[in-house]
Amino acid sequence: MNVKVGQELPELVKHPTTRQLVQYAGAQGDFYEIHYDQAYARSVALPDVILHGLLKAAFLGQLITDWLGESGTLRTFEVSYRGIDMPGHPYRCRGRVTRVDGEQVDLEVWGEDDAGKQTTSGSATVQLGS
């Protein structure tokens, strides 16, 4: 795998729906009402139900493992949730290579809302080779 600093990962655009949030709530076992109960979400001053932070992390994980394929292993993966995202709006996952040190590659990854605002930022370290 030929990896260079500055190289962008092929972007991944997700189209989350309320149905997906319910599906994810069940699969993760996180039944906090802000992710599927609109009246509850509004009662805690949110504009609508919002995506689970960890669902956005899973999307960014998918971005990395899709790019990596069988060429390496994920070592560290870190995400900060800086803004909320709501179903019905595309969520764009992007990333780029920030450092290459032999077989160790550092990535910057982030998620953008439909206005291009970075609502999730993160980083990852991968080890190339198997």
Partner 1 sequence: MSIQKGPTTSGSPATATSVVERLRARIGVDGPPISARVEAGHVKRFVEAVGDPNPRWSKEAPPTFLVALAPVSLHLAEAEEYGKGWLNGGNRFEYLAPVLIGDRITATGRVADVYEKSGSTGNLLFIIFETDYVNQRGELVARLRGTAIRR
If binding means CB under 8 A, how many residues of this protein chain bind partner 1? 36
Q: Does 73 bind partner 1 (CB under 8 A)?
A: yes
Closest-CA residue to 65 (of 25, 17, 10) = 10
Q: Does 54 bind partner 1 (CB under 8 A)?
A: yes
Q: Does 104 bind partner 1 (CB under 8 A)?
A: no
* Gap between the Cα atoms of 10 and 126, Å rounded: 16
Element of type H or E holding 111: strand 104-112
By beta-carbon proximity to partner 1, the closer residue of 52 and 97 is: 52
Torsion of Cα atoms, 22 then 87 then 76 then 123, to 10°: -170
Phi–psi pair at 57, nearest 5 degrees: -65, -40
Q: Which of 11, 23, 103, 117 binds partner 1 (CB under 8 A)?
A: 23
By beta-carbon proximity to partner 1, the closer residue of 62 and 104 is: 62
Q: Which of 18, 77, 98, 108 binds partner 1 (CB under 8 A)?
A: 77
* Gap between the Cα atoms of 45 and 105, Å rounded: 40
The site for partner 1 (CB under 8 A) is made up of 14, 20, 23-24, 26-30, 32, 34, 44-46, 52-55, 57-59, 61-62, 64-66, 70, 73-81
